Structures are given as C-alpha cells and as structure tokens.
Amino acid sequence: MTEFRFARRSAILGKSVFDHAPGTIALNSGAAYPPCLPDVVREATEAVGPLREEAMQYAPLMGLDDLRDEICNFVAEDGIKANRENVLVTYGSKSAFDLALRTFCEPGDTVIVTRPTYMTAVHIMRTHNVRFLDIGQDEQGFDAEELARKLAIMENNAEQMPKLLFDVPDFHNPTGVTTSLARRKRMLELAQRYNFVICEDDPYRRIRFEGEVIPSIKSMDTTGHVISLGTVSKILAPGLRVGWAIGDAGVIRRMAMQKADGGSNAFAQRIVVQLMRSNKMAKHIDEMIHHMRIHRDEMIAAFAEHLPEAEIRAPQGGYFLWAKLPEESDAERLVELGIEEGVEISSGRLSFPNDDPGNFIRMAYSFIEVDDIKDGIAKLGVAWRKLQTQAQAA
C-alpha cells in the first residue's frame, strides 16, 4: 500500500457536506427547493444554438462582459457602485471566496469569522491552513466591539494581524441573524483601521421575508476594503454555478490570476444574462420568498410542538434555522439518533471553527416539502427524547 506524501491540508478528510444519508429527510441541505427550480429551456437553447461559438468555447478570464454588466445593475439595487472592471465571474460565491483566500492568505495567516460561521467556508479556509479569530454574534449580528478589543490587544502585543474577515451579514448561515447597520459601519471602520479585507458573502440578501433592508457593507466601502461575494444559487439555481466577486479593480484582477480554470462556463453565464435581463429572475425571487417564508414558519411551529426545549430565533430571511439545545446536550449524538429515525440535520460543530459548545444544531428548510419538514422535526423530536433517556441512563 502506497504511503502518499500529502500536504498538511489533506488531513481534512471525512464526510463532505454534500453527502447525505440515503432515505432520510434532508434537513441538512441548503439546496434549492425543487418545485421552484427555473425553467431555462429557452435560454439554454439560445445559448447553445445561435450563440454556440460563445457557449462552447473558452470564456474570457473575467467572465462574459454582458454578465459583468448585468451583475453591476443587479448590485446597484444594493447601493453598490461597480463597473465591469470591479467584477469577476466565478463558479459561485464559494469559489470566489477561495480566490480571495488565495489572493491574500499564506498558511498560518489569520481570518476573522463569526462564532459560529458558515460550515463550508470553514472547510474551505481549512484547505488554506489559516488560523481563525472567532468573534461572537448576538441578535445585532457580528460583535464588532469584541473584534475591536481583540485587535487592539493583538496590535499591542505586536502579533500578526488578521488579513481577512468572512461574514454573512444578511440571514447568516447558520444563525439566520442579520447584522445591524451600526455594527456594519464599525466592521468597515476596523477593516480600514487595521487594513484587512472583508469578504461579505451575501447569497440570501434578496430572500427577505420581513423587516427592513440594511445597506450592504460593500455599499459603504470607499477604500476597497470590502469584497462582495455573490451567487445566483439562491436567486436562480445552484446548478448554474455562476457567482461573482466585486471589489477594487486591482484586487479583482489579482483574484482572476489565481483562477486555475480560466474563464469558467460561458454557457451558464449566457443563460444567467438572459434570466437577469428578463423578468424571470425577479419572479423567481418572489416565488422563493413566498415558499421559504412558509417553510420557515412550518419548521418553527414543528419545533414548538416536537422539541420545545430548543431555543430558536426566527430568521427574517434565508434558508436556515439554528437551535440551541439545553446546556450539556450532545448535539453530535442527536444527529446520529436523528439519522436512525430518518431525519438528517447538521451538528453545530461544523460551524464552530475553534471550540464547539456542543449543544447547537442547524436545520435547512430550503430543500424539502412542508410535509417533510413537519415529519422531519417530529422524527427529530423522537430522537431528542431518546437522547434524554440515554443521558439519564448514563
């Protein structure tokens, strides 16, 4: 048996967040709601028909000009001023984030994240061998004052200062929290003061059920310290694999040079151009909001019925519900018992980059039908009672 000489980062092995236990109700998947997946037959036919030479050829490194223009129009609604040179098309916001890490971080560099943070971002950051400075989050979102205190201490101690901050300020994954305007301003001040770059990952921004829209951090950025990461995965379809990074033109160009694959998929990019130009995208977003609000409400109601011990905050948008179980509850074990009962959720452990409190779980309400949400949480309730019984017996 060959003993391969892997890089350190290859120690990350084990379960992918894309693996699901077969035959279970998948409450662990932030995949799209199947009945809402867009019909793109017309757009695809055009892309590979009259536009075949574009669709079947290598795309420009930065992405299609038409798409970069449409993305500028799209984010203008968020108050973000961008020109084509500020936009890099990628395979989704995850790959855009990966390019930002490649552009800024050496192994051992520090990235600022919320505690907890997006599990797949943790995975990607681990492949870069970075360290995590994890910062708390409350009902106002990212605890910018905790960060300010910690940075001041680090600077005093002449420690190596963080280079990047990753956050999902709107309908945070996993907690669903939206960061307040005051906190966002403070985050930006700190980025400018300590010269780190904020990766503002905003896939759920348009999937708002209620409450006031809060300006994106990027819309307040005058110094290039914010890279806005976007994707069509939640506003159109994940399968299109089209996302983007918006930032300072020099930063964006450097990020482009880190792409291993050239100009990505012209074919899917053209489909997205057509969907953005037509009313299909706007209609699709309205539909998603309609369904996701119902899904959220059903899941919260099911928790009240089957697992009332869980502490839950209703998110104003997005795909996820985050639950705190009573102290000392073993969330990892609950996940296992859930699979035995036929429901799959995510342990909070995946979302804590450093220490896991051990009693948090994440549920997605995006992918499954309302009946399965009810049924899934009922099964989770059964698993929860089993966990209680086992804990008492131990």
Of 109 and 146, the one with the shorter C-beta distance to a copy of itself is 109
232 CB-side CA count, 13 A? 29
Sheet of strand 87-90, all strands in order from the earlier edge strand to the far edge: 87-90, 243-246, 226-231, 197-201, 164-167, 110-114, 131-135
- Burial of 356 from C-beta contacts in 10 A (0-12 / 13-18 / 19+): middle
Q: How far is the CB of 37 from a copy of itself (least distance, A)?
A: 4
Q: How far is the CB of 65 from a copy of itself (least distance, A)?
A: 13
125 vs 116: CA distance, rounded Å: 14
Of 19 and 286, the one with the shorter C-beta distance to a copy of itself is 19
Number of Cβ within 10 Å of residue 51's Cβ equals 16
Of 9 and 290, the one with the shorter C-beta distance to a copy of itself is 9
Instruction: Round the CA-based radius of gyration of the chain to a whole number and report it.
Output: 21
254 is a contact residue toward a copy of itself (CB under 8 A): yes
Q: Which of 79, 211, 250, 326 binds a copy of itself (CB under 8 A)?
A: 250
158 is a contact residue toward a copy of itself (CB under 8 A): no
Q: Binding string, 7-46, against a copy of itself, x = CB under 8 A?
A: xxxx-xxx-x-xx-----------xx-x--xxxxx--xx-
DSSP 171-214: S-TTT-----HHHHHHHHHHHHHHT-EEEEE-TTTT-B-SS---
Q: How far is the CB of 208 from a copy of itself (least distance, A)?
A: 22
Of 97 and 384, the one with the shorter C-beta distance to a copy of itself is 97
Restricted to residues 85-144, the positions that interact with a copy of itself (CB under 8 A) are: 91-92, 94-95, 97-98, 102-107, 109, 120, 123-124, 127
Residue with tokens 């994707």: 231
In the chain, DSSP assigns E strands to 25-26, 87-90, 110-114, 131-135, 137-138, 141-142, 164-167, 197-201, 226-231, 243-246, 311-312, 320-324, 343-344, 346-347, 360-364
Q: Which of 197, 246, 335, 387 binds a copy of itself (CB under 8 A)?
A: 197
263 is a contact residue toward a copy of itself (CB under 8 A): yes
76 is a contact residue toward a copy of itself (CB under 8 A): no
201 vs 217: CA distance, rounded Å: 10
Q: Which of 292, 110, 316 is nearest to 212 (CA)?
A: 316
φ and ψ at residue 269, rounded to 5 degrees: -60, -45
Per CB under 8 A, the segment of 67-75, 244-252, 292-300, 377-385 that binds a copy of itself is 244-252
Amino acid at 362: R
65 is a contact residue toward a copy of itself (CB under 8 A): no
Of 103 and 347, the one with the shorter C-beta distance to a copy of itself is 103
Q: 115, 134 in Cβ contact below 8 A?
A: yes
Per CB under 8 A, the segment of 64-72, 221-229, 290-298, 346-354 that binds a copy of itself is 221-229
Of 126 and 349, the one with the shorter C-beta distance to a copy of itself is 126
Q: How far is the CB of 314 from a copy of itself (least distance, A)?
A: 26
265 is a contact residue toward a copy of itself (CB under 8 A): yes
155 is a contact residue toward a copy of itself (CB under 8 A): no
Q: How far is the CB of 165 from a copy of itself (least distance, A)?
A: 13
74 vs 188: CA distance, rounded Å: 22
Terminal CA-to-CA distance of the chain, rounded, Å? 41
Q: Binding string, 301-330, against a copy of itself, x = CB under 8 A?
A: ------------------------------
Of 238 and 357, the one with the shorter C-beta distance to a copy of itself is 238
159 is a contact residue toward a copy of itself (CB under 8 A): no
153 is a contact residue toward a copy of itself (CB under 8 A): no
